[in-house]
Chains A and B, each alone.
Chain A
Amino acid sequence: MENVFKILVNGKDCQIKADPETPMLYILRNNLTLNGPKFGCGLVQCGACMMLIDGVAVPSCTYPLQNVGQSEVTTLEGLSQEGEQLHPVQQSFFEEQAAQCGYCTNGLIMASVALLRRKSNPSETEIRAELQRNICRCGIHARAIRAVKKLADR
């Protein structure tokens, strides 16, 4: 059942022995002890588990390990390496204090990074549309939108 996979996560080559169908969420959290991606629904309905696959924000909860191939996987941890400055999106979320419990933070930041990569100055409508896949139960919506808008307006 288990196979060995070589995947590239946060710039590092990783060797993973696991069932090929295992969703990346479990590989990232359990095999690679990364905290960024969170389990929220397992159903591609909440965005808590988002990672970047070649720069595109993708829910990791249903993305099988065997589909990763040569793609570059990035998690929240990979946006700013140890000791380095925060990624601008991370910094902006911190400055706007766009979190309460923070469980949605990973998903919101990954989605925003992907959006800004694609389009450096998205409108508020585009920001909202991009974040529509993510939920936040604490209600920090206005702050998150502001955090991204600030970067878009630079």
Chain B
Amino acid sequence: MEKNQQSRRAFIQSLGVLAIGFSMSGTACSRSEKQQADPSAPEIRTRELDMEEIDSWLVIREDGRVTIMTGKMELGQGITTAIAQVAAEELNMNMSLIDVHLAETGYTPDEGYTAGSRSIETSAMSVRRAAASAREYLLEMASQELSTPKIALTLEDGKISGQGKSTAIYTLLNGKYFETKISSDAPLYANSERKIVGRSVARMDIKSMVTGKSHFIHDLRFPDMVHARIVRPPAQAAKLTSVATQAISKLPGLAKFIRIGSLVAVIAEDEYQTIKLAKAVSHHLTWDYQKALPANRSLMQHIRSLPTDSKIDEKSEAWSDSTIANSPVRHRAAYFKPYIMHAANGPSCGIARYEDGKLWVWTHSQGVYPLRGALVDLLGLAEEHIHVKGVPGSGCYGHNGADDVAAEAALLAMEFPGRHVRLQWMREEENAWEPYGTAMVLEVEAGLDSQGRIKGWKYDLWSDDHGVRPGGDADNLMPAWYIEKGHGEAKSGFRGGATRNSEPYYTIPQLHLQSHIFRGPLRRSSLRGLGAYANVFAIESFMDELAEKANIDPIDFRIRHLNDERAIACLKQLANQIRSIKKQNQQGIGIGFARYKNQAAYCAVAAHVRVDQQTNKVEVIKLWAVVDAGEVINPDGLKNQIEGGMVQSISWGLMEEVNFDDTQVTNLNWDSYPILRFQEAPAIHIDVIDHPHEVPLGAGEAAQGPATAALVNAVYQATGIRVRQLPVIKALKHSALGLKLAEL
């Protein structure tokens, strides 16, 4: 402690600082980082602050500016703005005085991954408490300095005044360093006044985007930076058997040809040159690989035939097999969701520099600390010699290629020390090598009583795991499979992702839920919503089918199985929205509802579609959503998230599917993997129900499941065709051709 105090004092010199530490339960603490200064990172004046005790903090400088260190990453969800909003509210300060410093090892707290729509619930709420604590601390100091009771003082934009006296943060801090911990009894202004929180504050980073200011990792440039490209094998399981080194060495402009086991890359001064070199080099390599993928089989059947790790997730005490069998109305159906891509607009990119045994990495990974842990494992460098800095990338929607490309850049930088090495994937690499959202099969069976109430519900899901993130384990980084240094295959990950929302949010007396986890043919990991997307699609499709069997309106049918007033309120408001819509010929309106993870945001969605029976063209005319995410920090930001989630979900449901032959994925570009474009984009209306006194709930993934459910339910209304196998367009085409799809 003594030593830290001294180093802090030395660092602070004339700069006055008030640092507020606070602990975030459940996140690992980064301890005693002693980083060599990053030669290219912006100067960070808080780096010497003590990290022994605190997980995260907010720093008030004597010039009145506030820096918030967050372990979260900006993924396009606007977290930077939301965090600044909650801090500005508590400090009664203009938001322009607040800087948010994003995830960076050694500087920001270790908050694990930015995932699961949890940043508002965890990070932003901790920042709110820290800011309130800082305000109270400053008021206390001012009270003493001005000999005025604290209660009579107010803090505004860095000035403290009351009873005709005033002072400023500058005077109070007076070049000294103060540190305190978060105080749980500091009152929250957000509970009483809400001047900034709850308002649609514009995201300032969007101003940078519209003017082309440097924002993305893709925009980082360093003096003498070189460019790299990987030369990919023809199949996922492939071994490099021979290299025509002579021919390669004659290629013009090659700064370095790198081979580490079966990982091959080229480096050149000029990016376009590097791209051409990678193509040229590919002709001089020979690979050994197996035709190992089950190309021509029905994926649904294939999945069902794989060995599984099966488990009963829930079995009601009252469960009896005979309940369903003896019900007057019984129904059974199976649903399928194929592999789908993250398919980020901008391909993954990483930059690394290795010098004197130290490595710097710039990445758009969702977790800088977990990535660093995996790099330790992959590279054999000590943790204190690796510095990982988060920089925004193209929207990622889950675990895409960001960590892989960072690891590849790091491997290459170590082969080419002293220079910044920039590696950006090409479109076909992004599509072929990213970890997909896994294919899933969902089987449901239920029995209704004569009043149309569900008595028993049996659910079986088949899924690969959804979380194969690198967290400390090199095997989960793709390049580890090729460098032939004893690394294995990606480990099985987060089974729980498969069962996300597999339990219906409805009140059902007897439940029997099982999950069957298989190891599928393609690489997979977390994609927005994880298992919730397919589970909600299946549950909400099935609810519609049951409602029809019971001859009850689908919204009423859901409401009669709900006992959560907030859920019911969402559905009622949705019913109001769509009540007056006039459906024309060939049109349908369907709905879907879920509470994300059964504990986060509520989201009810309606879709109005038109299906041309002649051409099977599906037009999504309009989408409505009613969302309850508890206390709303930024209503327009929340709407933006929900809008985006719905559009992406509709795109997945309508048209997306990863295809593969017996060696590799075949949708390598936007023609072969089309996504929803502007002419197909629906009109959107969103209602947000604000509950200022409830906890704020993340909503980034809330719309994924309900939107596709609403889509298929609307398609059914328009056509009488029940699509149980996504994507919808393909299913309709098959049904028009009279093809019998693989049944149970």
Contacts and interface: CB of A to CB of B under 8 A. Distances in A.
Nearest to B648: A139
B212 A76 contact: yes
Interface in A114-154: 127-129, 131-132, 134-145
B285 interface: no
Contacts of B77: 100
B210 A136 contact: no
B292 interface: no
Contacts of A97: 202-203, 206, 636-637, 640
A109 B210 contact: yes
B681 A135 contact: no
A116 to B, nearest CB: 15
A90 interface: yes
Given A36-B212, A142-B683, A46 B345 contact: yes
Contacts of A131: 677-678
A103 B346 CA distance: 7
Contacts of B219: 35
Contacts of A95: 202
Contacts of A39: 218, 346-347, 424
Interface string B623-651: 00000000000001100110111111001
Nearest to B269: A30
B215 A102 contact: yes
A55 interface: no
B209 interface: yes
Given A128-B678, A131-B678, A100 B252 contact: no
B661 interface: no
B688 interface: no
A45 B668 CA distance: 12
Interface residues on B, range: 35 or more
Given A19-B272, A132-B679, A94 B670 contact: no
A90 B426 contact: no
B206 A94 contact: yes
Given A103-B394, A142-B684, A145-B678, A45 B206 contact: no
A140 B640 contact: yes
Nearest to B622: A142
Interface string B265-298: 0000011110000000000000000000000000
Interface in B452-511: none
B211 interface: yes
Contact of B675 (A34, A101, A132, A137): A137
A41 interface: yes
A38 B397 CA distance: 19
Contacts of B211: 76-77, 79-80, 86, 90
Nearest to A90: B210
Scoring B211, B214, B671 by chain A CB atoms within 10 A of each residue's CB, the highest score goes to: B211
Contact of A99 (B206, B426, B646): B206
A137 B669 contact: no
Nearest to B642: A139
A136 B345 contact: yes
A126 B274 CA distance: 39
| Of listed B216, B252, B345, residue having the most chain A CB within 10 A | B345
Given A128-B679, A138-B644, A30 B209 contact: no
B272 A137 contact: no
A8 B219 CA distance: 22
A66 interface: no
A93 B76 CA distance: 15
A1 B252 CA distance: 10
Interface in A1-56: 1, 18-19, 22-23, 26, 29-30, 33-36, 38-43, 45-46, 48
B343 interface: yes
Interface in B383-424: 392-397, 424
Contacts of A19: 272-273
Contacts of B273: 19
17 contacts: A26-B270, A35-B219, A38-B345, A43-B427, A75-B212, A80-B211, A86-B211, A90-B211, A91-B210, A94-B210, A101-B394, A102-B209, A105-B210, A131-B677, A137-B648, A139-B676, A142-B647
Given A40-B347, A97-B637, A100-B640, 13 more contacts: A36-B212, A43-B669, A94-B206, A100-B76, A101-B394, A101-B396, A102-B206, A102-B209, A105-B210, A128-B678, A128-B679, A138-B345, A139-B646
